Structure 1
Amino acid sequence: MYNTFEEIGQAVQSGSKGTLVVAAAAESELLRALSAANGLYLEHIILVGSRSRIEAISSAQKIDLSRMTIIDCDDLATACEQAVALVRQGQANFIMKGLVDTSIFLKAVIHKTNGLLIGRLLSSIMMVRMASYHKFLILSDGGMIIDPDLEKKKGVISNAVDFSRLLGLNPIKVGCLAAKEKVNPKMPATVDGAALKQLGEANYFGQDVLVEGPIAMDLLISKTAARIKGYESAVAGDVDVIVMPNIETGNAVMKVMTHLGQAQLGGIVMGACVPIILTSRSDSFENKLNSIILGAFLAQRMDNCHQLREEH
């Protein structure tokens, strides 16, 4: 398992670098991050969007766009469709959303005949590094699935497990976040957490996966809290993956860690045939770059997109 984004970046540099395509790329912090990644973590970058706006930003901010290809397209929906098409044609290894509404971008990604789906749930994964925790935390889902039921939470865990295996985690410790550890029918997160733990015990997610739930946040991240409360679990105080009960919780936890905990983070969407990067406009240059590094790392290690689509 890697301990920093720098270590993940070093792993990318030691392998065969790929091509990233960006839909609607006219945004300054994004272009800065792409320029920093160009050549170092990526062999090539394709920018789909308004050439005039991209070049104006580049000129004003002194951002180096050399060795990047710009495909001129003023319409946002068309830019997303063209970016997806480049992945399908094998001209790009993964894809990133630029300055475009997420719903417009995802419409192109999930298109039944021209998209990137392989029959799996799409879920957002945030990888967080904080000085106050001894390793990376993997949070899901805080960006896509509004109110996941049990079936969707199974998909969220499956994607997070695949993600974790690519990063070399073994075992993978999963915690199903809730406000308490006892099942309460009036609190769906506790009911789902208990059901997911039973699935984990039956090796539904694999023999290398330990699932605990329902479990509160203090027990997930603090061995001291677990000891004081007399809570015994291999996951307590050593969790890798935290499954969020809903999007509000996931979004809030992520933003508190980022803005109050000075966390470094990188985000990815799993479940398609290639890694998908969905950053927020408010994300820092560093966090955008971390997401690009993470996407490049995964793209090196995921199966061929065409093969995955044909299998599904």
Structure 2
Amino acid sequence: MQRKLLHNIPFDALKIGMEAEHTRVLHADDLYVFANSSGNLNPMHLPKEDGDGDGSPEALAPSMWIASLVSAVLGCDLPGPGTIYRSQSLRFVSQAQAGETLVVRVRLLEKGEGRLARFATTVTTQDGRPVLEGEAEVIAPARAVTFDPAEVPGLILQDHQHFDRLLEAAAPLRPMRTAVVAPEEADALAGPLLAAQHGLIEPVLVGDPDRIAAAAQAAGLDISGVEIAPAPDHKAAVERAVALVREGRAGALMKGHLHTDIFLGAILSRESGLRTDRRLSHVFVMDVPGLDHLLMVTDAAINIAPDLMIKADIIQNAIHLAHSLGLAEPRVGILSAVETVNPAIPSTLDAAILSKMADRGQITGGLVDGPLAMDNAVDLAAARTKGIKGLVAGHADILVAPNMEAGNMLAKELTFLAHAQSAGIVMGARCPVILTSRADDEKSRLASCAVAVLHAARSA
């Protein structure tokens, strides 16, 4: 967003009765920014918290945040840059809540010695309800100053509202009976139990009962009332879990504390597994702070060096998952190092062919374009700079990596450098397969279960 230059009015040019005003919408994010910058963590001023115990969040603007709006008018407009506060009287007449529009006004009352200027200061709601009244005394600038605020750093909150919406969408659905394979360590057991507490899944713990009980005891977890399906080892556990799905006694699988190759091996068995006519692939569903939509990254965990037809399956799997998450026509960016076809870079050839396959109906349900470099897949300005047109460039919902190494690095970079949270699910089997990491936090584990529940419900 381009910011206008700020100009001041020096003391000698000030005239009694001069006025200035700002109009500001109070966003929920403003409350988080103030809480972090001031250290005031009073839950009365946090968007989702019930600070007074009445059963609903208050999301009241802190009074001193409202007062800071007055300083913005004095410091930016009247007198403007170069102004220094001397004093401010404040009377808070009423409260403001997130979502309200506030009008901040200052009016020059008096000029005095030493460039002192006294202002009446008010804040009202857009419909005229008074919120703040008072007076400010400032030292006005001596000379004209112009300031360009373009270099002031911006802020990105590390919140994950997209995952909040996923959890809200999954909340009314019936808990999905999920076979959890070898939850024999505390981290592997805590995730499914947490999801059960939130009503997302009904876990069936498949593995060694003694090890599961020991893990629960060590972590202080209560597994009373949770069904346990005994299995002597990891191979037997995943085979038992797959059988539960084939028999209709479970609607999803969840990986616990076992090697991924053992876990996937039983799923891929031609005789007793959960294969379909499509290749299995992994999809990270990511909530990236500052991005206004969910971002999916595939394949980052299963297919090491996929060929053209495997990539087609990877794309189709991701599109189907996107449909389940509410995207009617997801935009798919096929990534490479460059955005032009170069025979020396095989991934650019694959990307061009896959785009044409989508044009011809061999990949359906989404808009597919490539090759795209990462910058012009997700940033519209970067795409325009390079002259790339189309409906995907700058707006990709799904990023298709050229191989597992690139996909895994991309997902981890978003997680650990951009503070994204990720949910993980394997597509292409007869049921959703939840694949979480020991490094996942609670919200990521819940989101993985929510994604699986939504996909199962909306693809039934």
TM-score (norm 2): 0.63
| 1:48 counterpart residue number | 206
Q: Which has the higher helix share?
A: 1
Cα distance between partner residues in 1 of 2:450 and 2:201: 12
Q: Which 5+ residue runs of structure 1 have no aligned equivalent?
A: 304-312
Q: 2:189 touches 2:256 (CA, 8 Å); kept in 1?
A: no
Q: 1:173 touches 1:211 (CA, 8 Å); kept in 2?
A: yes
Per-residue CA deviations over 1:196-219 (Å, capped at 9, x if unaligned) read: 11122223323x421110110000
| 2:274 counterpart residue number | 116
| 1:263 counterpart residue number | 420
Task: Say whether 1:21 aligns with 2:157.
Answer: no
Q: Pairwise mapping of residues 138-217 of structure 1 onto structure 2 (< 5 A)?
A: 138-206=296-364, 208-217=365-374
| 1:66 counterpart residue number | 224
Cα distance between partner residues in 2 of 1:3 and 1:200: 31
Cα distance between partner residues in 1 of 2:192 and 2:205: 10
Task: Say whether 1:233 aligns with 2:397.
Answer: no
Shift of 1:128: 0.5
Q: 2:201 touches 2:449 (CA, 8 Å); kept in 1?
A: no
SS across alignment from 2:399: strand
Task: Say whether 1:221 aligns with 2:398.
Answer: no
**AA at the equivalent of 2:220:** K
Shift of 1:14: 1.1
Which runs of structure 1 show a deviation greater than 6 angstroms over 4 or more consecutive aligned residues? Answer: none
SS across alignment from 1:96: strand
TM-score (norm 1): 0.92
Shift of 1:61: 1.5
**AA at the equivalent of 1:150:** L
Cα distance between partner residues in 1 of 2:194 and 2:439: 18
Shift of 1:171: 2.2
Shift of 1:32: 1.8
Q: CA RMSD in A?
A: 1.7
Greater mean deviation of Cα atoms: 244-253 or 31-40: 31-40
1:184 and 1:195, CA in 2 relative to 1: closer, same or farther beyond 3 A?
same
Cα distance between partner residues in 2 of 1:225 and 1:272: 37
SS across alignment from 1:139: strand
Cα distance between partner residues in 1 of 2:191 and 2:438: 12
How many residues are aligned here? 301
Cα distance between partner residues in 1 of 2:222 and 2:293: 34
Greater mean deviation of Cα atoms: 272-281 or 240-249: 272-281
| 1:254 counterpart residue number | 411
Q: 1:133 touches 1:221 (CA, 8 Å); kept in 2?
A: no
Q: 2:204 touches 2:227 (CA, 8 Å); kept in 1?
A: yes
| 2:166 counterpart residue number | 8
Per-residue CA deviations over 1:6-56 (Å, capped at 9, x if unaligned) read: 222222221222201111111212322222211423352100112222212
Greater mean deviation of Cα atoms: 140-149 or 208-217: 208-217
Cα distance between partner residues in 1 of 2:161 and 2:218: 36
Cα distance between partner residues in 1 of 2:393 and 2:458: 30
In structure 1, which of residues 59, 76, 87 is the aligned counterpart of residue 234 of structure 2?
76
Per-residue CA deviations over 1:110-135 (Å, capped at 9, x if unaligned) read: 11121111221101011001113221
In structure 2, which of residues 178, 182, 194 is the aligned counterpart of residue 36 of structure 1?
194
Shift of 1:294: 1.4
Shift of 1:72: 2.6
Shift of 1:165: 1.2
- Structure showing greater radius of gyration is 2
Shift of 1:273: 0.8
| 1:104 counterpart residue number | 262
Greater mean deviation of Cα atoms: 230-239 or 212-221: 230-239
**AA at the equivalent of 1:281:** R
Q: 1:172 touches 1:241 (CA, 8 Å); kept in 2?
A: yes
Q: Which 5+ residue runs of structure 2 have no aligned equivalent?
A: 1-159
